[in-house]
Structure 1
Amino acid sequence: MTAGRPLLFLDVDGPLIPFGAGPGQSRGESPEVSGNPLLARLNPEDGRRLLALPCDLVWATTWLDDANTEIAPRIGLPELPVVDWSDSSAGDEDDRLHWKTRGLVEWAAGRSFIWVDDEIGAMDRAWVSAHHPAPALLHRVDHRLGLTDADFDAIARWLTREEEDPCPVWRS
């Protein structure tokens, strides 16, 4: 990883494996997949597009290291760092804060970051804004569609602004 570049925390289920694709229906030209039929929903173009972004990719998924063995090779990603959730606390008392939020802010350690997930809510945005010193984009993906052109455009625009002004006043 490069120390000054923003991080991109990437979830798998929803963003890369959409829940809206029917059985046997893929988003790309993914080959037949033995074992887990959900892997056929991966779009092999997502890897190329993610690698083209000026950021450091990090798996932020319950797939853990399986993301490197099962997902990465199918979409053309190298092995990526993986957020270890063993020390992550649960959400807040009334469960409005996503269980990943605190762990991602801790993992970022003050670096700018993007979190791409299908379960991000208003409480997560408010908590990150109050507890993370650097800019952060919490980008919610439609779990039925997975990453779309509009999602990649929004992420690229945010990263471009980060390069031009490393301390923008807007946060998420």
Structure 2
Amino acid sequence: MLLFLDVDGPLIPFGAADRAYPVYEGPPVSAGGHPLLTRVDPALGRRLAALGCDLVWATTWMDDANVCLAPWLGLPPLPVVEWPDEDEPPDLLHWKTRPLVAWAAGRPFVWIDDELTEADRSWVAVHHPGPALLHRVDHGYGLTEADFEAVREWLGGS
């Protein structure tokens, strides 16, 4: 089972009104010019790995996710989805949707992102032959226990 993981929003919370974000101390790694790295809870790496999925970066961070985030989270370098140069997708479809379905190549997957809509879910249901969970995370808070529970529940039933 693949798990496509976005960074900004799910791992780095932002945009919550009047919310003071926690600051975490992780292992000594280079922030690589990413001043918000300390908003990422290093325990998320262990929790994501415990889901038993093949983790894949699905983020505009590209390989910077392996340079900065993987060590911070205690994860090995992960595969990175390379985004094709293309025009905007039609209608309300997220620009990542078609490339992720292509990358999955029929394999079951979970996609964790803060910008998912029903248009993406509908498109995947029609164009992807395997099971897929498109799970939207509230970018104001990042991944929460409720998000992990929803993913675990889906994985248990898929």
Q: Which of 70, 73, 77 is matched with 2:71 structurally? A: 73
* Partner-residue secondary structure (3-state), 1:69: helix
Higher RCO (CA 8 Å, separation ≥ 6 residues): 2
**Aligned equivalents of 1:154 and 1:20: distance in 2?**
23
Give every structure 1 segment of 4 or more consecutive aligned residues whose post-TM-superposition deviation is greater than 6 Å: 21-24
The C-alpha deviation readout for 1:87-138, integer Å capped at 9, x for no partner, is 555311x3x0000000000000000000000000010000000100011000
Structure 2: gaps (5+ residues): none
Superposed CA offset, 1:15-70 (max 9, x none) = 00000478984354447875422111010010000011121100000000000001
Q: Is the 8 A contact 2:84 2:99 kept in 1?
A: no
- Supply the RMSD in Å over aligned alpha carbons: 2.2
After TM superposition, the score normalised by the length of structure 1 is 0.83
The answer for the alignment partner of 1:57 in structure 2 is 55
Q: What is the aligned-residue identity percentage?
A: 63
Q: Give the Cα–Cα distance (whole angstroms) in 2 for the partners of residues 25 and 121 of structure 1.
A: 26
Corresponding residue SS for 2:120: helix
Aligned partner of residue 146 in structure 1, secondary structure: coil
1:115 counterpart = 2:111: yes
Say whether the 8 Å CA contact 1:28–1:45 is kept in structure 2. Answer: no
1:83 partner SS: coil
Report the equivalent of 1:105: 101
Q: What is the CA–CA distance in structure 2 between the aligned matches of 1:144 and 1:8, rounded to whole Å?
A: 21
The correspondence for 1:124, drawn from 120, 135, 140, is: 120
Indicate the residue corresponding to 1:91 in structure 2: 89
Matched, 1:134 2:134: no
CA distance in structure 1 between the partners assigned to 2:101 and 2:87 by the alignment: 12
Q: Find the counterpart in structure 2 of residue 40 from structure 1.
A: 38
Check if 1:82 corresponds to 2:77.
no
- For residues 60 and 124 of structure 1, the distance between their equivalents in structure 2, rounded to whole angstroms, comes to 15
Q: How many aligned residue pairs are there?
A: 155
Query: What TM-score, normalized to structure 2?
Result: 0.90
Check 1:89–1:77 CA distance in 2 against 1; reply closer, same or farther (3 A cut).
farther
